[in-house]
A and B are shown apart, each in its own frame.
Chain A
Amino acid sequence: MSTHRSPGFFNRQILLQATGESFKKLNPVLLVKNPVIFIVAIGALITSVVVFSDLLRGEFSSFNIQIATWLWFTVLFANFSEAMAESRGKAQADSLRKSRTQTRARKMEGKQEVQVYATDLRKGDIVICETGDIIPSDGEVMEGIASVDESAITGESAPVIRESGGDRSAVTGGTRVISDRILIRITAEQGDTFIDHMISLVEGARRKKTPNEIALSILLSGLSVIFLLAVVTLPAFFGYNLSASGMPGSQNLSVPVLIALLVCLIPTTIGGLLSAIGISGIDRLLQRNVIATSGRAIEAAGDIDVLLLDKTGTITLGNRMATNFIPAEGVKVEELADAAQLSSLSDETPEGRSIVVLAKEKFNIRGRDIKTLHATFIPFTAQTRMSGVDLVSESGRVRRIRKGSSESVRTFVQNNNGFFPQKIQNIVAELSGQGATPLVVAEDNRVLGVIHLKDVVKGGIRQRFAELRKMGIRTVMITGDNSLTAAAIAAEAGVDDFMAEARPEDKLKRIWQEQSKGHLVGMIGDGTNDAPALAQADIGIAMNSGTQAAREAGNMIDLDSNPTKLIEVVEVGKQLLMTRGSLTTFSIANDVAKYFAIIPAIAVSLYSGRAVAGPLSSLNIMNLGSPESAILSAVIFNAIIIILLVPLALKGVRYRPVSSNNALIRNLLFFGLGGLVAPFAGIKLIDLLINL
């Protein structure tokens, strides 16, 4: 699997581009979408007006200028974080777009072939693609079979087969035919093709706020209103104390100071980073070669608590493999292995090949030249349910070696006047009971033993499921096998539940059942018959190799067509939500320190006539240099923390598969407690630097 490497953080071109974008994003129409940052921008504007009107009157306040400057920086930093997140997908989008506009299509009009631009194709048009042609738009193969290079969208260089009918009929615009000729019916209007979706997604242009993001924005706006009230009413209380201490009302708090306080209190950190977090979630999925059709889907992925997994390809390696030779009484195991290997030499099924491999690995029995053996191979048929080989030795004697199901081999042996030992019968029963497939090997009238064929569970999958369980996610294995076989594999793989002898419609039913109990279900599928289930599931991941129907039904597409991907998708979803929550907590916890910086600073003069410094300066526990430097330090910290957290927002907080309690404790200590302490240190440090 190859992945799209995301450009590094310190890529110069991206930094430059993002910087330019942050200024473009000062456009009020764009700014108003982010209420918290919009408030900062208004504050910055008002402060600037104050500064300019002061200048016009010939007054100069370096403090006000610095406040105004840092407020503008706060806005720019927030814009920058969003621009950075967007730019990471942009380079990719550009190359995709280029490939599309230059493509020409060979459209069929009746029997005539006409050259048109790919952008002029409509839904329902029919085009021809031959070796070397770029497929002009999304469509379905009507006729023919071709190998297609899809590296443009998947990054995977190995070609894939696309053919009419069946589950591999969908082709994607922008990919290249590298052999043969296919007739394609276009299935997407321009602007609605897969590549169009991908471009808009990676650019974040058509990105809508997700439900959780909307809710969080409401919370942040609400908190901002509360702080607005706290700040707006402050001059009244301050004025009251001014008059109580016999000071002139003109010494009341200035507008820039109030704005500075407000900006420090409203959750600018999370407000500034919120959309960057969302975009980077899509980006992180893209790095894993998964395309989500909406941000909502990624969010839902974090909530998935039931995963429906197909057995084959996800839990087990595709096919059954020989894992052991069990000889009959009086037969050497080498003899059995030798016979088994002979009978499988030209058996091209994966099972057959695995027998040859096992014989070589275990007993070093090498492949033999078929010709010198004078062998005739007997292929497997549904009637005989056996395959094997007839060997003619130099003496002219014919050795007939067979392998197959126990019933057919029993008949074979008995027809040769042999007998089928009870012990073999027992072994067969035992292996079947374990969910394995026993193949009995016989030569003429003698039963040699049993080959143990079993589904091989993928390495590491058991541990993966254990991790999922810790995260509270239940796994359900879906298989067409009988329940005995299914149970055995389920136990070995460590899934929580399984569905045996499942038909496609059973999948859909199971999803309904789980959902009616309140669970959120994720599944991965490829075939057209998976489409209803993909559509019903809360997260339906369609494999890119699958049919168009499946791809439309799902809400994510896995470009690698790797079923294990579902687990990674869930992790990305959880990581996204964690990042959002952690930075919100951090942002709110920050406020405590800012109060301790600003309140004593603004109130230092109160009642100072009677005591040496105003009594409220005892709240100045950070011992900041001067009132001005204290306020300025808080504002600067508030701005800089956004930039410092951009990498975290883009990468996401570190994710570990642990229980919710452990995850919570870890994140709380780091972001909650850290958010409480960090600004004390940060503000103090900045204050020291300012007062150098």
Chain B
Amino acid sequence: MTLPEIIQVVLFLGLLTGLTPILGNYLYLALDGRNHILKPVLGSTERLMYRIIKVNPDDEMNWRGYASALLLFNLAGLIFVFTIQVFQGSLPLNPAGLPDVSWHSALNTAVSFVTNTNWQGYAGETTLSYFVQMVGLTVQNFVSAATGIAVLLAVIRSISRNNTDKIGNFWADIVRSVIYVLLPLSIFLAIALAGQGVIQNFKSYEAVHTLEGGQQILPMGPVASQVAIKQIGTNGGGYFNSNSSHPFENPTPFSNFLEMLFILLIPAALTITYGKMTGSVRQGWALFSVMMIMLISGLLIALYGEYSGNPLYGNMRLMEGKETRFGIVNSVLWAVSTTAASNGSVNSLHDCLSPLAGMVAMLNIMLGEVVFGGVGAGLYGMIVFIILTVFIAGLMVGRTPEFSGKKIEAFEVQMAIIAILAPAAVILVFSALASVSIEGLSGINNAGPHGLSEILYAFSSAAGNNGSAFAGLNSNTTFYNLTLAAGMLIGRFGVIIPVLAIAGNLAGKKYTPPSTGTFHTDNWLFIILLIAVILIVGGLTFFPALSLGPVLDHLLLQGGITF
């Protein structure tokens, strides 16, 4: 690595850490219904929204009500996005005259955007009209991210409240998340990106003459707005097929830096929001530290993997599939960030990462997308691991387990186990299915263990609602579209529902004040412990699969064997 590259990485991590408390505090004010800087400007819009949807924001729900509202809302979104795709040929804003989308691809895409996954089995510019991209996908980019925040808010409330069954109003949480957080931030980022040269128009695709004298069709579209929200909302679905390695999505080193920063920004800031809302900022920083330590560790391993090179090519750095304009470091940093944050946008091909770097990317997803993770989703996923950690280790201080003054009992453990089991089951079972079925194997482009990695990555990406692809896997087939769609649904709602159930149960509990005998969850010891539990649970679950995929791949490559 060169000095400027090191400086850039340090600057990136430093800026992320520095902005975390600032944005975290704003999120706290905005999402908790308090007074804040944008309230005078947008407050009337918020109230107008409540009047339109006929909701009283102070009318709170119990966890069942909250979950029902959430499921209904997401189901409606899913049906809508599915419908406009299969009829897009007859709908407006389709200057390229793209035809109706096949039902299984449409289903996959609808599920993908509703679940904040943004897995893209299709190529955006050659499949979807402006109308579908804007009214369907971009809207879901906002509300699926808002859904994640809403679930987190419900969990946070359940921890800060006692003896109640109310965990908040789902509609109010969605409205506040969109109006005060996602919209302003994405407008800001969209303008900044447009300033860097990201396009934003409704023109029809342009034919240009290349230097070689050939002709090329350049797809156009409202790109900047969608790129902004895809990063902010940890969605990751690119406007173009090549995502953020396309110059119209990511034209300059500065836009690259900005996009990477915004991938992690809200998930990081939410840790502080969590701390503020539960009355322990220290706890928030502890969670931030856990995520940051894991991010940096992953980054170091991935960089090691890339820089140790490939013996077949004289151990030189391999640029194939990397973001050639910005270099290996920016490719790796992006890859680690986007998989850590359940974002899924890419600026390089993860398939072309060295096996170790590829494994870090995959592991980031497999560990449950809790290293910052999706907007809201990362932190509520982390709560699940906290419950597990507190339960295993908390006993060792000689008290029944508790977290933030709430006793952790059978019900919480049961739900936490379901939340961990659901995505793990998707990854293992569907990958196994794909690796023995003709339909599954037909999509593989690479022979040897690398092909297995591609399958594992695809289902991990679906289950973790990440959405990035290892590429190399042709997944736009009925088999993959349907299994991945199922995986995304299970990976999303198989976690959300148990987490909301935990929230409902925690809110009803009484608060036990801490003492020197209590198991503390805001010190360095707990940070280490939590990391260990995440690694051990994730590691133990996927060790066999990973050893037969990327580990074997790495060892074979080091032995000079290719396929």
Contacts and interface: CB of A to CB of B under 8 A. Distances in A.
A238 B396 contact: no
A463 interface: no
A665 B525 contact: yes
Contacts of A322: none
B544 A299 contact: no
Contact of B395 (A211, A305, A580, A610): A580
B396 A219 contact: no
Contacts of B513: 517-519
Nearest to B434: A236
A218 B429 CA distance: 22
Contacts of B512: 305, 518-520
B517 A607 contact: no
A302 B523 contact: no
A582 interface: yes
A229 B547 CA distance: 16
Interface in B514-531: 515-520, 523, 525, 529
A619 B543 CA distance: 12
Contacts of A678: none
Contacts of A240: 435-436, 441, 451-452, 548
Contacts of A305: 512, 515, 517
A665 B545 CA distance: 33
Interface in A610-649: 610-611, 615-616, 618-619
A655 interface: yes
Contacts of A603: 547-548, 552
Contact of B394 (A473, A517, A581, A661): A581
A230 B556 contact: no
A661 B394 CA distance: 10
B425 interface: yes
Contact of A219 (B392, B549, B559, B561): B392
B420 interface: yes
B58 to A, nearest CB: 27
Interface stretch (B3-11, B211-219, B369-377, B405-413): B405-413
- With most chain B CB atoms within 10 A of its CB, the pick from A244, A606, A611, A668 is A244
A211 B398 contact: no
B428 A229 contact: yes
Given A211-B409, A215-B391, A616-B552, A661 B525 contact: yes
Interface in A459-508: 469-474
A660 interface: yes
Contact of A663 (B388, B391, B397, B552): B397
Given A615-B556, A619-B547, A664-B519, A577 B398 contact: yes
A595 interface: yes
B545 A230 contact: yes
B555 interface: yes
A585 B542 CA distance: 19
Given A578-B395, A578-B398, A237 B555 contact: no
A160 B212 CA distance: 111
Contact of B543 (A223, A469, A595): A595
Contact of B432 (A237, A265, A665): A237
Interface in B16-55: none
B400 interface: yes
A212 interface: yes
B442 interface: no
A226 interface: yes
Contacts of B421: 222, 225-226, 229
A229 B398 contact: no
B400 A577 contact: yes
B510 interface: yes
Q: How large is the interface on A (under 10, 10 to 19, 20 to 34, 35 or more residues)?
A: 35 or more
Contacts of A230: 428, 540-545
Given A239-B436, A265-B540, A664-B393, A574 B399 contact: yes
A581 B559 CA distance: 43
Contact of A237 (B413, B519, B545): B545
Interface in B126-185: none
A229 B422 CA distance: 11
A367 B14 CA distance: 85
B391 A241 contact: no
Contact of B398 (A225, A265, A302, A599): A302
Contacts of B435: 236-237, 239-240
Given A237-B549, A618-B555, A471 B540 contact: no
B563 interface: yes
Contact of A581 (B393, B433, B448, B561): B393
A659 B517 contact: yes
A444 B537 CA distance: 86
Contacts of A343: none
A236 B559 CA distance: 24
A237 B563 CA distance: 17
B447 interface: yes
Contact of B414 (A218, A239, A664): A218
Contacts of A577: 395, 398-400
A616 B555 contact: yes
Contacts of A599: 543-544, 547
Contact of A660 (B391, B447, B517): B517
Interface string B441-454: 10000011101100
A589 B410 contact: no
A375 B548 CA distance: 102
Interface in A512-543: 517-520
A255 interface: no
A-B pairs with the 3 shortest C-beta distances? Answer: A472-B517, A581-B395, A574-B398
Given A230-B541, A581-B392, 13 more contacts: A215-B409, A216-B391, A218-B410, A226-B537, A229-B428, A302-B399, A470-B516, A471-B398, A471-B517, A574-B398, A574-B399, A592-B536, A615-B555
Interface of B: 388, 391-401, 405, 408-410, 412-414, 417-418, 420-421, 424-425, 428-429, 431-433, 435-436, 441, 447-449, 451-452, 510-513, 515-520, 523, 525, 529, 532, 536-537, 539-545, 547-549, 551-552, 555-556, 558-559, 561, 563
